[in-house]
Amino acid sequence: MITVTVYSTGPGCMRCTLTCRCLTAAHIPFTVIDLTDHRNAAHREFVTDELGYSEAPVVLVGDDPQHHWSGFRPDLIDQLAHRLLEQGSGR
């Protein structure tokens, strides 16, 4: 199963909340990493320095460094849900 990570700036981030709700509604399991937590400084550096993002949420799909996006993107979540469904059905 593919892993999905949502890098968030906490519950005050509406786009982060909407992204998590949309992933949940699409039955896509995910992990949330709060970038405001000082213990996640290495993750914050990864998101800003390696991926180049300055706003949350950032969604990383699997280990593919090319499959990520920033912001609330229900269109990309829908595409991901369809892709996972096809993989699960063996197509």
Please report the pLDDT score of residue 90 as a whole number: 52
53 DSSP 8-state letter: -
Task: Judge whether residue 82 has pLDDT over 60.
Answer: yes
> Is residue 89 within 8 Å of 32, Cβ to Cβ?
no
Which residues are CB-neighbours of 63 under 8 A, at least 6 positions away? Answer: 3
pLDDT per position as a tens digit, 46-57:
999 999 999 999
Q: For domain 4-89, is the CATH number 3.30.420.40?
A: no
Model pTM above 0.85: yes
Q: Which helix (H) or strand (E) is 34 found in, with range?
A: strand 31-34
Q: Alpha carbon of 47 to those of 7, 39, 54, 85: distances in Å? A: 8, 14, 8, 28
Predicted confidence band at 88 (pLDDT cuts at 50, 70, 90)?
Answer: confident
Domain spans of the chain, in order of start: 4-89
